[in-house]
Amino acid sequence: MTFDVRDSYLSDKDSARVYSMYPALERGWKKYCPTCKKQGYYFFRGERVECDCQMQVALCKHYLNAGIGLKYQRLDWDDYENKEAEAYVTSRRYIFGEEKFYDYGIGIFYFGSFGAGKTMCANLILKELVKMGRRCFATTFANTVEQFTSGWNSNDQKKYFENKFVNSDFLLLDDLGKEMRTKNNLPETLFDNLLRQREQAGKVTIITTNIKYEELAHGHGHGVLSMMNETKVLVKADNPDYRPTAMRRNIDEIKKNVTRPIV
């Protein structure tokens, strides 16, 4: 049976979290649309487009529940600047290729320079998985540490951490960085335990970092690197910083009254 996001409903707890962030979504698609604002249409890429408000609201809610913010909700593969880059080509093959690596517990480890599109590719992959009906969650590693420690004094928070961070079929840990190196070793230990727990359960973890791949051994040792080599596709992103180009595009679209749909 083909999954249709329109016919899929969030749990009461997940809905409450989403509505606490964006109360307007609780009004439903007949009264609110995050894209056309109930005009019934919007202009995109030189054309007037009739708005599918029901789909826009459904996608928005499911993406937010998966931790995918509004910025990446409105981006698609066409927005990636360099279609010949390793990050783009490998990401497309990972999610659209006939091999279906993601069904075999294989994740992706993106490393490389700032602004090279690592986070964008990771979020685009996660969006495709959400539209397949998979349980996904995107977060930063800094937030992972914060949410984990919040569970020390709250059973509800502990259950939330286990549900989203440990048990999601696909977890995106974005921006693994310098917070790994602290005196109490909590971030390092948490990362190691979380990664091993998920790998043993056959869960897929996608990671992005600006740290050089060889430098990770200083924080985690060769055991973790060996495990990542076994369970992840390694992708080096060394494109020029695309963010200035993205900013110019955003400004140009605002001037032209362009509205990007949630895709």
Give the model's pLDDT for residue 244: 82
User: What's the predicted TM-score (pTM) here?
Assistant: 0.91
The mean pLDDT value of the chain amounts to 89
Rounded CA-CA distance 97/75 in Å is 21
DSSP assignment letter at 150: H
Provide the b/e sequence for 211-245 (b: ≥16 CB within 10 Å).
beeeebeebbeeebeeebeebbbebbbebeebeee
29 band by pLDDT with thresholds 50, 70 and 90 = very high
Q: Rounded mean pLDDT of 57-86?
A: 95
Convert the pLDDT of each residue in 206-225 to its tens digit. Answer: 999 988 777 766 655 565 66
Return the closest-CA partner of residue 242 out of 79, 44, 42.
Answer: 79
Rounded CA-CA distance 176/216 in Å is 10
- DSSP assignment of 95-146: HHSTT-GGGGT-EEEEEESTTSSHHHHHHHHHHHHHHTT--EEEEEHHHHHH
Give the model's pLDDT for residue 237: 86
Convert the pLDDT of each residue in 127-175 to its tens digit. Answer: 999 999 999 999 999 889 888 887 787 888 889 999 999 999 999 999 9
177 band by pLDDT with thresholds 50, 70 and 90 = confident
Give the model's pLDDT for residue 179: 61
Question: For the chain, which domains are there?
Answer: 5-75+251-255 (no CATH), 82-237 (3.40.50.300)
Q: Rounded mean pLDDT of 227-243?
A: 79
For residue 172, the surrounding DSSP H or E stretch is strand 170-176
